[in-house]
A and B are shown apart, each in its own frame.
With several copies, the nearest count.
Chain A
C-alpha cells in the first residue's frame, strides 16, 4: 500500500496552524522532512483554531481517504478523536499521538492502543512553579491564568502550577481562563492585580498570555512586585526573559515534538507489537539559561 514513489507517506494532523507553538512544531517537522526526504513523504494539515473538533475529524477522515501510511496527530480533543483514529488503525494506518494525550479511559473503553510521544506538561509546569516558589515566601499570593477550558494541556499545566504552589505553601487567589490569548489574559491579569493588591506572581499557561500579563503589570506600575511565569518559550518572550520581566518559561522543544512523533511512526511502520508511550524532555528557561550559549 506504499505510494507510487515507494516511500511511506506520513500525515501530520495538527491542532491548529494559526498559532506560534504549532507553527514551530510544523516548521520543525518540515525541516526534518527536508533532511530526510528520501525516507518519507510528509503532508501537514491542521484546523484553524483549537476548537473545531469536527473539522479535525474531517481531516483525519480525509487522510484515511487518501490512504496515507501513518498519521501523527495532535488531537484537539482527547476523547472525540479516538473513534476516528480507531478507524485509521482499522484501515491499517499507523497512528501516533503527540502534544495532547488521548484520554486513557476512552482508549481502553474502545480497546485501542495509540502511543503517545511527548512531554509531560504537568511536570513542566511544576518545574516552572518550583522555580517561582524559590523566589517567594510561604503564604504569598499568586494567580493562575489558564488555557482554554477543556484543553488537556491547559489543565495539565494548571495542575502542575498548583502542585508546585501547594507544596510550597503559596496561596492561589484566582484561577481564570485567558483562552490562550494575549488580550484576554491582559484583562484578566489587570483585574487580578486590582482585586489582590498583595499579588506576588501570575502563572500563565502559555507565553502569549504571559505577554498580556506583563503588559498589565507594567501598566499597573508593579513590575518590581509581581513575577510572571510563562510556558512554551516562544520568540516574542526572549527579550522579556533576558530583561527579567518574565521570570521563567518552559521549553518543551516545540520544534522537535512533531519530529519525535514522526520518527516514532516511521520506526513503528516496520514493526509489529504493542507500542509504548515515549516521554520527551521539558526544560526550564530562565534569564540565566538564555545567557548560556
Chain B
C-alpha cells in the first residue's frame, strides 16, 4: 500500500503539468510555422534560465509563506551594478560578477531582516524594495542602458554537448533547489515554517535566521539571474525585469506551490516556467494580436490551477 500510494503521488504531481505542456505543444505545433524546429527549442533553452532561477528563489520564499515582489527590480539593480563595474569602473570580470551576486544577496537579506525585525508582511517590505531597487538602478545607470559589449558573451556561448551554459546552470539550480527542499534540514524547516511557524518556534527552533536566509537566497538568485540576463542581452537595461515578479509567481503557483506556504515543489515551478514560456513563444510565433495574447495568457494561468484542483480531487478519490 505504501508503494502504491507513493508512486501515483509522484506521477500525478507532475503528470498534470506534463499534460498541459503536451497540449500546448500540440496546439502550437499544428498552428505555428516551424514551431517544431530545433531553433525553437534552442531559443527556449536560451530564454528561460533567468526566469527559472528567479522562480526557484520565489518557490522557497512562497513555501515559508512569504513573497518577494522585488526580484525583478533587484535583478535590474544587480545587472546595473555588473554593467557599471565592468564598463565605467573597469572592475575585473570575476569581481564584477561577485559584486552583482553580493548586491542581490544584500537586497534579499535586507528584505528578510525587515520582515523579522518588525514582523512585517513580506508583501509590503518587498513592495518597498521593488521601488527602492528600481530607484537605485536608475541612480547607478543614470537611466541609460549600459552596453557590456562582448565581455559577457562567453557565458551564452559556452555550451555542454550543445546545451548552453545558462540552461545548464538553471537546471542545476532547479535540481539543487528540489534536493534542498525535500531532503535537507533547511528545506524541512522551510516547509514547517510555512505550515505553522508558531509550532516550529515553540519546538525551540529559531526561525528568524532561516527566514532571513531564504530571502537572502532569493536575492542572491536574482543576482545570478542578472548575470545571465545581462549576458543574454549584452547590456544592462535599467528597465529590465518590470513585472517579472508576477510572472515568476504565476509560474510557481502553476507549478503547485501554495501561496499560503507550507507546500511546494521546485520541479513544479520549472514546469510552470516551461508552460508560460511555451505559451508565450507559441503565441508570438502564430503572431497573435496583443489582446488575444493577454486574454489567453490570463485564462491559461487560471486554467492551470483549476486543472490542479481537479487533479488533486482525482488523486484523492483514488486513495
Interface on A for B, CB 8 Å cutoff?
17-20, 22-23, 43-46, 48-49, 51-55, 57-59, 61-62, 64-67, 77-84, 103, 105-106, 109-110, 148-150, 173-177, 181-183, 186-188, 190-197, 208, 211-212, 214-215, 218-220, 234-240
B243 / chain A contacts, CB cutoff of 8 Å: 51-52
A211 / chain B contacts, CB cutoff of 8 Å: 145, 147, 233-235, 237
Can you list, as one digit per residue, whether each of B32-76 has a CB less than 8 Å from chain A (1) or not (0)?
Answer: 111101011011001100100000000000000000000000000
Asked if A54 contacts B240 (CB within 8 A), the reply is: yes
Q: Which of A17, A22, A58, A149 contacts B43 (CB 8 A)?
A: A58
B114 to chain A, nearest CB (A): 23
B51 (CB) vs chain A CBs: closest residue? A54
Q: Within 8 Å of chain A (Cβ to Cβ): is B294? A: yes
Q: Which of B34, B149, B237 contacts A53 (CB 8 A)?
A: B237
Q: Within 8 Å of chain A (Cβ to Cβ): is B229? A: yes
A20 / chain B contacts, CB cutoff of 8 Å: 143-145, 238
Asked if B240 contacts A181 (CB within 8 A), the reply is: yes
Q: Within 8 Å of chain A (Cβ to Cβ): is B258? A: no
Asked if B287 contacts A176 (CB within 8 A), the reply is: yes
Given contacts A54-B233, A183-B240, contact A236 B43 (CB under 8 A): no
- Closest 10 A/B residue pairs (Cβ): A191-B284, A65-B39, A17-B290, A149-B143, A236-B145, A23-B143, A83-B234, A236-B147, A80-B235, A51-B239
Asked if A196 contacts B284 (CB within 8 A), the reply is: no
20 A-B residue contacts at CB 8 Å? Answer: A18-B134, A23-B144, A44-B287, A52-B243, A53-B237, A54-B233, A55-B280, A57-B232, A58-B47, A61-B47, A65-B40, A65-B43, A110-B149, A176-B290, A182-B239, A186-B232, A187-B281, A190-B281, A191-B285, A239-B149
A48 / chain B contacts, CB cutoff of 8 Å: 290, 293-294
A187 to chain B, nearest CB (A): 6
A181 / chain B contacts, CB cutoff of 8 Å: 237, 239-240, 242
A43 and B284 alpha carbons, distance in the complex (Å):
10
Asked if A236 contacts B281 (CB within 8 A), the reply is: no
Asked if A215 contacts B142 (CB within 8 A), the reply is: no
A218 / chain B contacts, CB cutoff of 8 Å: 234
A105 / chain B contacts, CB cutoff of 8 Å: 147
A54 and B239 alpha carbons, distance in the complex (Å):
10
A281 and B229 alpha carbons, distance in the complex (Å):
36
B222 to chain A, nearest CB (A): 14
| Most chain A Cβ neighbours within 10 Å, of B149, B150, B281, B287 | B287
Main secondary structure of the interface of A (DSSP, over half): helix
Q: Which of A67, A110, A148, A150 contacts B144 (CB 8 A)?
A: A150
Asked if A194 contacts B233 (CB within 8 A), the reply is: no
Q: Interface residue tally of chain B, by bracket?
A: 35 or more
Asked if A235 contacts B284 (CB within 8 A), the reply is: no
Given contacts A52-B242, A79-B147, A183-B229, contact A18 B290 (CB under 8 A): yes
A55 and B283 alpha carbons, distance in the complex (Å):
13
Interface residues of B in 248-291 (CB under 8 A from A): 280-281, 284-287, 289-290
B101 / chain A contacts, CB cutoff of 8 Å: none
B34 / chain A contacts, CB cutoff of 8 Å: 65-67, 194-195, 197
A195 to chain B, nearest CB (A): 4
A183 / chain B contacts, CB cutoff of 8 Å: 229, 233, 237, 240-241
Q: Which of B144, B240, B284 contacts A188 (CB 8 A)?
A: B284
Asked if B237 contacts A208 (CB within 8 A), the reply is: yes
Asked if A103 contacts B147 (CB within 8 A), the reply is: yes
Can you list, as one digit per residue, whether each of B131-168 has a CB less than 8 Å from chain A (1) or not (0)?
Answer: 00010001001111111011001001000000000000
Q: Which of B43, B241, B286 contacts A190 (CB 8 A)?
A: B43
Given contacts A19-B143, A78-B145, A239-B149, contact A150 B237 (CB under 8 A): yes
6 other contacts beyond A77-B237, A219-B156, with CB at 8 A cut-off?
Answer: A52-B240, A64-B39, A66-B39, A84-B233, A182-B239, A211-B145
Q: Which of A43, A51, A234 contacts B242 (CB 8 A)?
A: A51
A20 and B147 alpha carbons, distance in the complex (Å):
13
B142 (CB) vs chain A CBs: closest residue? A23
B33 (CB) vs chain A CBs: closest residue? A195
A53 (CB) vs chain B CBs: closest residue? B237
A150 / chain B contacts, CB cutoff of 8 Å: 141, 143-145, 237-239
B242 (CB) vs chain A CBs: closest residue? A51
A190 and B265 alpha carbons, distance in the complex (Å):
30
